[in-house]
């Protein structure tokens, strides 16, 4: 079973669809209960089982209950995709401490909490996949997004360190760093920021969520077993590494 946080729509939704298409049962963990239920119902057309569980990923107790509920309904978690997150813009000089803390909690703390919650059984079974969604901005930074960039860079560091700890137990941990992708999160950013960002891209456009999902499928597969602590970068050439 695959559990996808922030799986009701956007990149998480596309990854959930791709997993279901490959025959995996999928749990959608999202704050948006109605959209999560709709997504879970949509996935059942592939002949798989799917459930929606609701939680704020930065809230440890909510997350624990949601993961336990998903496991009770669908069984063990073989794949965890840490996708849920937020974004916003502000210069550092104008950024409030609350704005900084909110970003770190949603985009970094949540990755630690959900990963820790599923690791024990994965290690016991000597098999598991954890895929963390970071960002190309973790590599290059961006004006007015220091909080977001710091959180996403932290995800890469966490990915590498956790990979060192658990690879010997058959659990792989990797990250995906998408470029700007056509999602609701991107739409909420200021128009001048988006215009500047698109002008930097060799490909000249935002990516589509369906262009990210195949990377997650590969990392989750048996053929992806030799990827350990790596960062894959479907980003339209924004960062060439």
Catalytic positions are 148
What does the alpha-carbon distance between residue 231 and residue 81 come to, in Å, rounded to a whole number? 14
In sequence order, which residues have a C-beta less than 8 Å from that of residue 130 and are 6 or more positions away?
79, 80, 82, 115, 118, 119, 122, 162, 171, 172, 173, 174
In sequence order, which residues have a C-beta less than 8 Å from that of residue 32 and are 6 or more positions away?
8, 9, 54
**Do strands 79-82 and 128-133 pair parallel, antiparallel, or not at all (unpaired)?**
parallel
Q: Which tokens hold the place of 87?
A: 């974004």
**Which residue has 């590498």 as its token pair?**
160
What is the Cβ-side half-sphere exposure of residue 13, based on CA atoms within 13 angstroms?
Answer: 19
Q: Which tokens hold the place of 85?
A: 């997150």
Encode 22-52: b = buried (16+ Cβ within 10 Å), e = exposed: eebbbbbbbbeeebbbbbbeebeebebbbbb
Nearest to 12 by CA among 77, 84, 74: 84
Cβ atoms of 188 and 87 within 8 Å: the answer is yes
**Which residue has 């000597």 as its token pair?**
126
């Amino acid at each position: 079973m695959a559990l996808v946080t922030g799986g009701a729509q956007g990149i998480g939704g596309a990854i959930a669809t791709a997993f279901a298409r490959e025959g995996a049962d999928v749990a959608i963990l999202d704050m948006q209960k109605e959209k999560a239920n709709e997504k879970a119902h949509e996935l059942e057309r592939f002949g798989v089982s799917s459930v929606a569980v609701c939680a704020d990923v930065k809230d440890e107790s909510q997350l624990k209950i949601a993961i336990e509920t998903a496991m009770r309904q669908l069984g063990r978690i073989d794949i965890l995709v840490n996708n849920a997150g937020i974004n916003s813009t502000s210069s550092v000089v104008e950024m409030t401490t609350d704005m900084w803390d909110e970003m770190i909690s949603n985009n970094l703390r949540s990755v630690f909490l959900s990963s820790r919650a599923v690791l024990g059984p994965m290690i016991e079974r000597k098999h598991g996949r954890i895929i963390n969604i970071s960002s190309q901005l973790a590599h290059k930074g961006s004006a007015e997004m220091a909080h977001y960039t710091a959180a996403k860079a932290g995800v890469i560091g966490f990915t590498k360190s956790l990979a060192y700890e658990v690879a010997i137990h058959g659990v792989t941990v990797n990250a995906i760093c998408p470029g700007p992708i056509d999602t609701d999160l991107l739409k909420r950013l200021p128009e001048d920021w988006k215009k500047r960002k698109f002008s930097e891209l060799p490909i000249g456009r935002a990516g589509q969520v369906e262009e990210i999902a195949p990377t997650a499928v590969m990392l989750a597969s048996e053929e992806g077993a030799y990827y350990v602590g790596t960062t894959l970068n479907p980003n339209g050439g924004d960062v060439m590494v």
